[in-house]
Chains A and B, each alone.
Chain A
Amino acid sequence: MNFKDRKLKLFLNYIEELTEQYDELLNQKKELLAELEKKAMYDPLTGLFNRHALIEFLVKEIERIKRERGEKLIVIFLDLDNFKKVNDIYGHKKGDEVLKEVANLLKTHFRKYDIVARFGGDEFMVIVRNRNKGEIENVLRKLQERIEEIFKNFEISVSYGIAVAPDDGTDIDKLITLADRRMYKMKEKHKTKKLDK
């Protein structure tokens, strides 16, 4: 092997090292992208899906029920009552603890394949497939009782509203607005009940 051949072999070995390093960098890039994607989908405080991810799921689910006739999709909007008081009186740290606990309760009351998301602040949303409205109302009542029991000292409860696709339409904004409006009706009832007491 003369010097010229050895030099050529050296350059080939260099290219091999370069390729391996780039493969490693590509893998690192893929892992980083997956991590970023995960971060972009989840709410960092509660670990639930975030608003952006929920809308994406909802778009896909609405498309699906449009294709598969007879399928129903339940959209639930939940909002904590008296949550502001916790932040004001006990501070944001306590408020965060309450939100995390509510997130855990939501996860345990719904199935693994239902979509549970934090919509923002103390608002949550759940998308449920293949269950009837009556069943879901039972689950929500149980959840409500559990929340009231756990956060008795803070007088926290939960109000919710339900919209069903395609019965209430298949427009995403309309379904969310409807569930939100129904949640408000319940919230008003809770307020009146409290005043009566």
Chain B
Amino acid sequence: MDTVIVSSQNPILRFAVKEVKEKAPKGFDFALFSISPNYPYQDVPATIRKEFGSINYVGFSSNSAFENIRVVNDGIVGCFFKFSSPKTKVSTYVRDNVSRDNREDIKREIEEFLTGKEEKLNIVIADFIDGEFPILLEDLGKEFQKKGIKTSLIGGIIATPMRDNRRQKGFLFHNGSVIENGFVIISFSNLDFQFRVSSGIFKKGPVYTVTKTDTFKIYELNGKPASYLPRKLLKDIEPSNDNKTLLWYTPFGIINEENEIEALRVIRSFTDDYIELWGPVKKGERLKLSIVLSTEMIKDTEKTAENLKNSFGMVDFSFNFSCIAREKILEDFENEEIELYCRLLNAPLFGFYTHGEVAKRNGKLRIHNLTSTIVAVRERYEL
């Protein structure tokens, strides 16, 4: 399998797509495009068609994407796959207009799509859909657990700019169509793969039980109003617009009975009544408040990549889904993380900063914040 990742930061969509086309390899089988939300989304399918003709692709809005060792902001990054074996195929499940009302139907459809794909690499790229996708995914994870479904699902929620504490709408693009309020699952057959989830958070910390919650909002911790906690953490720190991102340094880990972290949650905002997180949390779940430092994050990334390489061996290509909060926390190490992955796995890398990562951790499929999921991929060759 040959994978080529190229980019353009030309502010005109047509020129950017043209530049990407010029750099792209000939005769590829499948393409992924990360497209800045600054471009007019309505023009994306027609522009791709004009430059590339009829190709098999999935595109998505994203503030930034990874082109091997480089973080590309405000542009287009294209990832082109050319498979060596005719057995390697890509199939997609595309869903738009996801809402609470059709959640059960969609869960059933996903289950049907993934049936028989236990061995395949299933990548999910989704819009946040005002919180509906994280809820859907967490529900799906619970159902998979209950039914003993082992299928893997790895990916991320696309990150678009924030305005008035709300995320700007993101879009997905698939073979000439714009997908609104939706997600795409891309299933690759005939690929071997392994993945790891890296966080780098401190393992110790005070533990609280969620005693009152409403999906993303925690009203009570240990029976006390939850808002005391962020106030206490920000005590004697003068008010600033940066204080919300300051709380990204103190994430919550949802812990299981063995005190292992199942999922991480970052504080999004807080009021006098509640703490709002970037992922759902349920009543009765135990949260460990932790801290995170850029140096520890990088150390964990290195350890994770080394572990993955030692376990997997030769890598053709790698996917990386990293929380947008890491971009802030990593500060000067922002490029170092993907550089480490590329260097240690010795393979091209494509990925993007996310508003939630999808991966199994300690056996459970959940939405994560603040993690970096790295997937090592290799095509199965016939002797």
Contacts and interface: CB of A to CB of B under 8 A. Distances in A.
B110 interface: no
Given A3-B242, A17-B289, A10 B233 contact: yes
B250 A1 contact: no
Contact of B238 (A1, A17, A21): A1
Interface in B122-175: none
Contact of B243 (A6, A14, A21, A22): A6
Contacts of B207: 21
Contacts of B243: 6
A9 B237 CA distance: 7
B246 A13 contact: no
Interface string B273-297: 0000000000000000101000000
Contacts of A9: 236-237
Given A14-B289, A14-B291, A6 B232 contact: no
B233 to A, nearest CB: 5
Contacts of A14: 233, 250, 289, 291
Given A18-B205, A22-B206, A10 B236 contact: no
Nearest to A5: B237
Interface string B221-253: 000000001001111111010110011011000
Nearest to B293: A11
Contact of B237 (A1, A21, A22): A1
A7 interface: yes
A86 B291 CA distance: 64
A13 B249 contact: no
A3 to B, nearest CB: 6
Nearest to A4: B331
Contacts of A16: 232
**What secondary structure prevails in chain A residues at the interface with B?**
helix
Contacts of B250: 10, 14
Contact of A10 (B206, B229, B246): B246
A6 B240 contact: yes
B206 A6 contact: no
Given A21-B206, A22-B206, A13 B235 contact: yes
Interface residues of B, number: 20
A10 B242 contact: no
A7 B242 CA distance: 10
A103 B60 CA distance: 78
Interface residues of A, number: 14
B234 A17 contact: no
A9 B238 CA distance: 10
Given A1-B237, A6-B243, A17-B233, A11 B291 contact: yes
Given A11-B291, A22-B206, A17 B232 contact: yes
B137 to A, nearest CB: 29
A22 B204 CA distance: 11
A10 B232 CA distance: 9
Contact of A13 (B206, B233, B238, B240): B233
Contacts of B242: 3, 6
B237 A6 contact: yes
A18 B206 CA distance: 5
Contact of A7 (B229, B232, B236, B249): B249
Contacts of B205: 18
A21 B289 CA distance: 11
A13 B234 CA distance: 7
Interface string A54-73: 00000000000000000000
Contacts of B249: 7, 10-11
A3 B248 CA distance: 13
A73 B313 CA distance: 79
Contacts of A1: 237-238
Interface string B74-91: 000000000000000000
A187 B275 CA distance: 72
Contacts of B236: 9, 13
Interface string B328-349: 0000000000000000000000
Contacts of B237: 1, 6, 9-10, 13
A17 B206 CA distance: 8
B72 to A, nearest CB: 25
A17 B229 contact: yes
Nearest to B229: A17
Of A1, A3, A17, A18, which is in contact with the most chain B CB atoms at under 10 Å from its CB?
A: A17
Given A6-B238, A10-B249, 17 more contacts: A6-B237, A6-B240, A6-B246, A9-B236, A10-B247, A13-B236, A13-B237, A14-B233, A14-B250, A16-B232, A17-B206, A17-B229, A18-B205, A18-B206, A18-B289, A21-B206, A21-B207
19 contacts: A1-B238, A3-B242, A6-B237, A6-B242, A7-B246, A9-B237, A10-B233, A10-B234, A10-B247, A10-B250, A11-B291, A13-B232, A13-B235, A14-B250, A17-B229, A17-B232, A17-B233, A17-B289, A22-B206
Interface of B: 205-207, 229, 232-238, 240, 242-243, 246-247, 249-250, 289, 291
Shortest beta-carbon contacts, A-B, top 5: A21-B206, A13-B233, A6-B237, A9-B237, A13-B235
